Amino acid sequence: MLNEEQFYYFVYSWIVIGFITFLVNLKIKAPYGRHTKTTWGPMIDNRLGWIIMELPALLTCPIIYFLGQGEKAPVTLFFISLWLLHYINRTLIFPFRIKTNGKKMPLAITFSAIFFNLINGFICGHFLGNIAQYGNDWWESWPFIAGTILFAFGFFVNNQSDHILIHLRKPGETGYRIPKGGFFRYVSCPNLFGEIIEWIGFALMTFALPTLTFALWTMYNLIPRALAHHEWYQSRFDDYPEDRKAVFPRLL
């Protein structure tokens, strides 16, 4: 197992790799959902792809946490509960709610997401299970309180927006409409905005580099995707709301 110094070298390297991935993501749209391509090799059913690619995140962080040598303080158990809350939804509920009949994604996307989820799950689980030390007063600290509020807000926006998107289609439909309501008033991708805010909240409540790394990786993946979705909406719908931003209200 890595000692603490080696672990932090690994975390710094992962941040740099993430930034390179961000630059690549700005140039090449990740080919799933509306941007899917058949030229990326073998394909897998969309629903199955979502389950397989998110499962490592659901499992890795809690397993590594519980196997870790550190004290299982109530506050770290709370952090793991939030992780489980998010990933039980993303892995075991969301894939069964989406209307994705007959749609496929490249296996290459599934495998790259598995890799990303394994590393991020390891980094967060190892930190919380072996390194983290929070006193009993952490519950009353400002990072904990502010981070929890941000996480709850992000979780709400993410789920509300996914709910609106899922209900744009009637059963069996696979086309696209202009989403309205909720935070779609402000941005094209409030689900991605909500997800980014959730993990910034998680980084704040845990106040640590490893969890910040995960928040950064979420931005590295989701900001380019939101920009691509926004451009796609604008090119596809003549009546697309002009004042809508891509991902951050009033900013971007």
Ligand X SMILES: NC(=O)c1ccc[n+]([C@@H]2O[C@H](COP(=O)([O-])OP(=O)(O)OC[C@H]3O[C@@H](n4cnc5c(N)ncnc54)[C@H](OP(=O)(O)O)[C@@H]3O)[C@@H](O)[C@H]2O)c1
Q: 155, 213 in Cβ contact below 8 A?
A: no
Q: Tokens for 199, please give them.
A: 């993990």
Q: Segment contacting ligand X (CB under 6 A): 2-10, 15-23, 214-222, 239-247?
A: 214-222
What span, in angstroms and rounded, lies between the C-alpha atoms of 235 and 187? Answer: 16
Q: Where would I find the H helices in 131-189? A: 142-166
Q: Segment contacting ligand X (CB under 6 A): 74-82, 122-130, 215-223, 242-250?
A: 215-223
C-beta closer to ligand X: residue 102 or 135:
102
- The answer to whether 158 contacts ligand X (rule: CB under 6 A) is yes
Q: 179, 168 in Cβ contact below 8 A?
A: yes
- The answer to whether 104 contacts ligand X (rule: CB under 6 A) is no
Q: For ligand X, how many residues bind (rule: CB under 6 A)?
A: 22
Q: Segment contacting ligand X (CB under 6 A): 21-29, 73-81, 134-142, 165-173?
A: 165-173
Among 61, 119, 157, 192, binds ligand X (CB under 6 A): 192
Q: Segment contacting ligand X (CB under 6 A): 69-77, 123-131, 173-181, 203-211?
A: 173-181
Q: Using alpha carbons only, how large is the chain's radius of gyration in Å?
A: 18
Among 79, 195, 203, 223, binds ligand X (CB under 6 A): 195
Closest to 163 in 3D by CA, of 141, 179, 144: 179
- The answer to whether 100 contacts ligand X (rule: CB under 6 A) is yes
DSSP string, 84-143: HHHHHIIIIIHHHHS--TT-EEEHHHHHHHHHHHHHHHHHHHHIIIII----GGGGGSHH
User: What residues pair up with 104 in beta bridges, in sequence order?
Assistant: 45
Among 179, 201, 210, 224, binds ligand X (CB under 6 A): 179
- The answer to whether 210 contacts ligand X (rule: CB under 6 A) is no
C-beta closer to ligand X: residue 24 or 145:
24
Q: Which helix (H) or strand (E) holds 49?
A: helix 46-67
Binding residues for ligand X, rule: CB under 6 A, are: 33-34, 98, 100, 103, 158, 162, 165-166, 168-169, 174, 176-177, 179, 191-192, 195, 218, 221-222, 225
